[in-house]
């Protein structure tokens, strides 16, 4: 599974880069899942994504109508038909509720129908093909967003500054969390540093489970205004 960035109308250079990556991944796909929020009618963004798929996608498209169970009975047919019309050439479709796991098993069966038989690309116990440092940075960023919810927007970047094996067998990781505003820094630190400590503990515990070893995680926060419009800087975060 490749979870691409969302195709959207970007406001920043970083967004442009993410959309390019998402569109660039389409030719390599064996199956494409177009996941929509069926609890509402198609948005302009849904239409834009559908147009992109019509132009760029060569693989079968499965239309996934998520949150369809939230619809009143009289809205199910019009909403479904409106999304069908966006991708009239879709190979299959499924109503789901991802949060509850509803129909996810049936969706997997649909996906398997369109996948070619081939040797596995990766060992069964390998959960990602991303470098460990990049995965760690994304995990820390996830904990920031989960804990701050709407208080800190998605203008958060994480750079792994140090990744060192200590003589005692502990892996030392130092990471800098970049935000775009001074008040966001205060939110992340929290009262007496409680928020930063919570983020660090959650990230460290998950990293230890993933890497199967003891970790010492040190986090710093820096303000870097408008970093999402600085290609050289966000490329540095990816390295």
Where along the chain do its domains lie?
A: 13-114, 132-238
> Averaged over 213-224, what is the pLDDT?
94
Q: What is the pLDDT of residue 57?
A: 86
The band of 84, judged by pLDDT with boundaries at 50, 70 and 90, is: very high
Q: Is the pLDDT of residue 14 over 70?
A: no
pLDDT greater at residue 99 or residue 10: 99
13-114 and 132-238 have identical folds: no
Could you give the CA distance from residue 182 to residue 58 in angstroms, rounded to a whole number? 45
Q: Is the pLDDT of residue 113 over 80?
A: yes
The band of 19, judged by pLDDT with boundaries at 50, 70 and 90, is: confident
Q: What is the pLDDT of residue 176?
A: 95
Q: Are 44 and 72 in contact (CB under 8 A)?
A: no
Q: What is the pLDDT of residue 15?
A: 66
Q: Are 134 and 125 in contact (CB under 8 A)?
A: no
Q: What is the pLDDT of residue 62?
A: 95
Angle CA 120–34–128, to nearest 5: 35
Chain mean pLDDT for the chain: 88
The correct CATH number of 132-238 out of 3.40.50.1240, 3.40.50.2300, 3.30.499.10, 3.30.300.20 is 3.30.300.20
Q: Is the pLDDT of residue 20 over 90?
A: no
The band of 126, judged by pLDDT with boundaries at 50, 70 and 90, is: low
Percent of all residues in the chain with a pLDDT value above 90, rounded to a whole number: 55
Written as six digits, the tokens of 27 are 């030719």
Q: Is the pLDDT of residue 133 over 80?
A: yes
Three-state DSSP string of the chain: CCCCCCCCCCCCHHHHHHHHHHHHCHHHCCCEEEEEECCCCCCHHHHHHHHHHHHHCCCCEEEEEECHHHCCHHHHHHHHHHHHHHCCCCCEEEEEECCCCECHHHHHHHHHHHCCCCCCCCCCCCCCCCCHHHHHHHHHHHHHHHHHCCCCCCCCEEEEEEEEECCCCCEEEEEEEEECCHHHHHHHHCHHHHHHHHHHHHHHHHHHHHHCCCEEEEEEEEECCCHHHCHHHHHHHHC
Q: What predicted TM-score, i.e. pTM, was given to this entire model? A: 0.65
The band of 9, judged by pLDDT with boundaries at 50, 70 and 90, is: confident
Q: Are 189 and 148 in contact (CB under 8 A)?
A: no
> Averaged over 49-59, what is the pLDDT?
89
Q: What is the pLDDT of residue 143?
A: 94
Domain 13-114 matching CATH 3.30.360.10: the answer reads no
The band of 129, judged by pLDDT with boundaries at 50, 70 and 90, is: low
> Averaged over 138-155, what is the pLDDT?
86
């Amino acid at each position: 599974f490749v979870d691409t960035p969302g195709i959207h109308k970007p406001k920043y250079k970083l967004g442009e880069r993410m959309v390019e990556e998402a569109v660039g991944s389409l030719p390599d796909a064996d199956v494409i899942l177009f996941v929509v929020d069926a609890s509402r009618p198609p948005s302009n963004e849904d239409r834009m994504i559908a147009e992109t798929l019509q132009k760029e996608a060569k693989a079968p498209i499965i239309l996934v109508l998520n949150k369809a169970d939230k619809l009143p009975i009289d809205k199910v047919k019009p909403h479904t038909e409106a999304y069908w019309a966006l991708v009239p050439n879709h190979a299959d479709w499924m109503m789901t509720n991802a949060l509850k796991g509803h129909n996810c098993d049936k969706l997997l069966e649909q996906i398997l129908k369109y996948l070619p038989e081939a040797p596995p690309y990766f060992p069964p116990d390998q959960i990602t093909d991303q470098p460990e440092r990049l995965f760690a940075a994304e995990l820390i960023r996830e904990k920031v967003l989960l804990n701050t919810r709407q208080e800190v927007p998605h203008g958060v970047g994480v750079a792994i500054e140090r990744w060192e094996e200590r003589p005692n067998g502990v892996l030392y990781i130092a990471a800098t969390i970049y935000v775009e505003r001074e008040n966001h820094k205060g939110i992340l630190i929290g009262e007496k540093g409680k928020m930063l400590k919570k983020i660090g503990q959650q990230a460290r515990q998950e990293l230890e489970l993933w890497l199967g070893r003891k970790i010492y995680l040190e986090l710093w926060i820096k303000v870097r205004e408008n970093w999402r419009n600085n290609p050289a800087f966000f490329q540095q975060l990816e390295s």
